[in-house]
Amino acid sequence: MREITVGGAQMGPIQKAESREAVVARMIVLLEAAAKRGCDLVVYPELTLTTFFPRYWMDDEAEIDAWFEREMPNGATKPLFDRARELEIALCLGYAELTPEGDHYNTQILTDRTGAIVGKYRKVHLPGHSEYDTERAFQHLEKKYFLPGDLGFPVWRNMDAWMGMMICNDRRWPESWRLMGLQGVELVVFGYNTPSVNSQMGGEGLEKRLYHSELVICAGAYQNATWAVAVAKAGDEDGHPLMGGSIIVDPNGFVVAKAQTEGDELITAVCDMDATVFGKETIFDFARHRRIEHYGPITAQTGVKTPEA
Ligand code: CDT
């Protein structure tokens, strides 16, 4: 058995004026709780350190850049990294990254148990739009504030397991999962900020949004015989509700832990990496069963082309 005890550190809402330092203090409270429950790895949400700022229209470059981190760790997050190193707990957390070249990404990092960063992922599937959209109940401007990730979907050897990352909307795309599945991923970790309300269909309802999220995570885990840890930032941010529903899913696609609140809440599960072997060697033995001669359009085209086109 190769057991890793994983904690999903769901975060409640973060208000616009809340400081990074205050958020990090909350993250450390969850980290201490995770230590008491024997966690080896703790996963935090997408853009953990701030409110979900892509809901705001901003033109001023300095105002935009104030939401971004120029290095990681930095002054605000150092206490978290220090405490994690003392507790020998690995971390995964998302943040807005501003590179020395001036590029902006929606980023997530993974550390080992010494606090060293072993992996960095930049969100590939950016949802939303780049121009102000008067038709929407609220804005979702990820395409304005971030570039699409340029690092692909690598996996990293960490704690004797193959780990991979994605961020939020990536979970809805089977391509994200399969690219990591093709590298033998055993544990996929990610955070999300999903509005509880569909800005383009107000009547959709929270239940359906939670269902779709769980559906794609369970399917992705099963179809690639991997564990998955999905962690929300939840609750009401400035009148904009974000859904909870953080889950840990096993390689058979079953939910083994689930958050019950929309606040700061830790979920945990003991994940045996060897539980991925059966699926990888049987129904999802990719080497034996994949038929790549039929898959060309998946990388050759984006939109739908009906046969008449
Ligand atoms: N943060 C993020 O990627 N949220 C999306 C909602 C997009 S709605 C425009 C998600 O897939 O949950």
Let me know if residue 17 belongs to a domain.
yes
CA of 127 to the centre of ligand 1 (A): 6
Ligand 1 centroid to Cα of residue 128, in Å, is 7
pLDDT value at residue 202:
94
H or E segment at 108?
strand 104-111
Report the C-alpha gap between 140 and 138 in whole angstroms.
7
Is 185's pLDDT higher than 70?
yes
Mean pLDDT calculated for residue range 163-192: 98
- Is 46 catalytic? The answer is yes
CA separation for the pair 152, 147 (Å, rounded): 13
- 277 C-alpha to ligand 1 centroid (Å): 31
Residue 194 lies in domain: 3-300
DSSP β-ladder status, 155-158 and 227-232: unpaired
- Per-residue pLDDT reduced to its tens digit, 80-139: 999 999 999 999 999 999 999 999 999 999 999 999 999 999 999 999 999 999 999 999
Given 46, 142, 237, 265, which residue is catalytic?
A: 46
* Residue 158 counted as domain residue: yes
- Which helix or strand (DSSP H or E) is residue 94 part of? strand 90-98
Contact call for residues 194 and 242 (beta carbons, < 8 A): yes
**DSSP code of residue 183:** T
- Ligand 1 midpoint to CA 229 (Å): 17
Does the pLDDT of residue 197 top 90, yes or no? yes
Q: pLDDT tens digits, residue range 236-291? A: 999 999 999 999 999 999 999 999 999 999 999 999 999 999 999 999 999 999 99
123 included as an active-site residue: yes
The CATH code of the domain that includes 209 is: 3.60.110.10
Sheet holding 255-258, edge to edge: 155-158, 161-165, 187-192, 227-232, 247-249, 255-258
Q: Give tens-digit pLDDT for 42-89.
A: 999 999 999 999 999 999 999 999 999 999 999 999 999 999 999 999
Nearest CA to ligand 1 atom 12: 194
Q: Give the pairing of strands 265-272 and 255-258.
A: unpaired
Q: What is the percent of the chain where pLDDT is above 90?
A: 99
Q: What is the pLDDT of residue 309?
A: 66
pLDDT score at 166: 98
Answer yes or no: is 309 within a domain.
Answer: no
Tell me: pLDDT of 17 over 80: yes
Looking at residue 296, its pLDDT comes to 98
> What does pLDDT average to over the chain?
98
Residue 200 included in any domain: yes
What does the pLDDT average to over 226-239? 98
Spatial separation of the C-alpha atoms in residues 279 and 284, rounded to whole Å? 6
Mean pLDDT of 27-35: 99
Ligand 1 pocket check for 158: Cβ under 6 Å: no
In a domain, 305, yes or no: no
What is the spatial distance between Cα 71 and Cα 83, in angstroms, rounded to a whole number?
18
Give the tokens for residue 98: 């501003």
Q: Which amino acid is at 150?
A: D
The closest of 237, 239, 274, 253 to 45, measured between CA atoms, is: 237
Does some domain include residue 11? yes
SS3 of residue 215 by DSSP: helix
- Number of domains, the chain: 1
pLDDT of residue 308: 85
Closest atom, ligand 1, to C-alpha of 123 = 3
Query: pLDDT band at residue 15, thresholds of 50, 70 and 90?
Result: very high
What is the reported pLDDT for 93?
98
- Whether 308 is in a domain gets the answer no
205: alpha, beta or left, given left = phi > 0 and alpha = psi -120 to 50? left
